[in-house]
Amino acid sequence: MNSRQLQVFVAVAEVGNFTKAARSLNIVQPAVSNTIKKLEEELQMSLFMRKDKSVSLTTEGKVLLKNARIILGQFKKAELEMVELRQMERGEVRLGVTNTLGMYYFPKVIEAFKQRHPNLNFSVQVFGMRKIEQLIEEDQLDMGVVMLENMPNNMTGRHFLTDEIVACASVLHPLAQHETITYKKFIREPLLVFTGGAVQRELIEKTCKAENIDSNVIFETNLIPLIKNLVSAGHGVTSFLRPVIEGDPRFKGISFNPPIIFDFAIAWKKSCHLSMANQAFVDFLIDYEKQKKNTNQ
C-alpha cells in the first residue's frame, strides 16, 4: 500500500464512481480500476460494493477511508514543510560556541542572521571546544566552533575568524608597562583562568608540561565578567582574545612573544549533510566576516 493507491482510493470513495474519480485525477479509468483491484488484493478484503456504474464503501472501506485521509494529510504536511524549508521559512540551527565567542562575537552575527531569516529557530549552547566536538559527534549539535588546526578527522568545516590571544592585566599592574611578554614568563604570574576544556587552559597546561614547571593558577571559573573584575582589582592576570578587553580602560592587553594566533572554524560531521538552515548560516557567517574585513580596510 502506498500513497498513490490511497489517493486513488479516496478519490473513488468521495465521488462514488470510477470514471469520475479518474477524471478528477487526470488519469484513465482503467488505471483507477487496476489500482483499486491491486489494493484490495494486497489487503485481502473488498473496499467497495459495486452496483451498476456506482460504488459505495464496505465497512472495511470506511475504516480505510478514515485512516487514508489522515495519512494523506500527513504526506501533504510533510511536502509543505519541505517546501518551507527550501524557502527558509522554517528550520533550526543547533550551534555550539565557546564562552568567549558566545559573549563577544556571535550575538551580533546571530542578530544580523535573524534579520535575514526571521522564521528560523536557533539553539546556541556554550561549551569548551572539546565538549563541542563530543556533542557534534553524538549528533546533539549540528555544528560548532573548533580550532582549525586541531579539527578532528571525522569533521569538516570552514575557517571564519582569526584572532589573537593576549595577556590581560590591570592598567595598574606592573605588566602593564610592557608591550610584549613571553608565555613562559606569563604562566609564572598569579593566574585567573578558565576551567578545563577551554583552549587557554589547555595552552597553559601544555606549556607547563613542555617546560617542566608548575603553573600558578590561583582562581578558575568560566564566568568571564568575574575574571575581568578580579583582574581589574589586581588579584592576578589572565589571557583573553583581544576583543574581550578592547575599549575597556581598566585593562592592558599585552601581546605574547611570539604572538599566539587562533584560527577558528565552524565545523560539522563529514558523514552528516547540512540542512538548508545550517548551510545558510555557514554561508552567512563567512560572508559576514568578509564584509567586516572590507569595512575595516
Q: Tell me: the pLDDT tens digits for 86-119?
A: 756 677 889 999 999 999 999 999 999 999 888 8
Locate 20 and state its grid cell. 469520475
Report pTM: 0.69
When comparing pLDDT for 54 and 52, which is higher? 54
Report helix, strand or coil for 64. helix
CA torsion 82-87-92-98 (nearest 10°) is: 140
pLDDT of residue 297: 62
CB 37 within 8 A of CB 45: no
Residue of higher predicted confidence among 29 and 78 = 29
| Residues contacting 237, CB < 8 A, separation 6+ | 167, 168, 169, 173, 175, 186, 189, 190, 191, 192, 231
Q: Which has the closest alpha carbon to 5: 89, 54, 64?
A: 64
pLDDT tens-digit map of 240-274? 999 999 999 999 999 999 999 999 999 999 988 78
Q: What structural domains does the chain harbor?
A: 3-86 (1.10.10.10), 92-143+268-296 (3.40.190.10), 163-263 (3.40.190.290)
**Which cell is 141 given?**
549539535
φ/ψ bin of 139: left (φ > 0), alpha (ψ from -120 to 50), beta (otherwise):
left
pLDDT at 111: 94
Q: For 194-233, what is each residue's pLDDT tens digit?
A: 887 788 888 888 888 888 888 889 999 989 999 999 999 9
Identify which of 78, 85, 107 has the alpha carbon closest to the alpha carbon of residue 279.
Answer: 85
CA 202/CA 111 separation, integer angstroms? 31
Say which DSSP state 174 is in. Answer: G
Cα separation, 141 vs 129, in Å, equals 12
Which residue type is seen at 110?
A: I
Can you read off the three cell numbers belonging to residue 263? 584560527
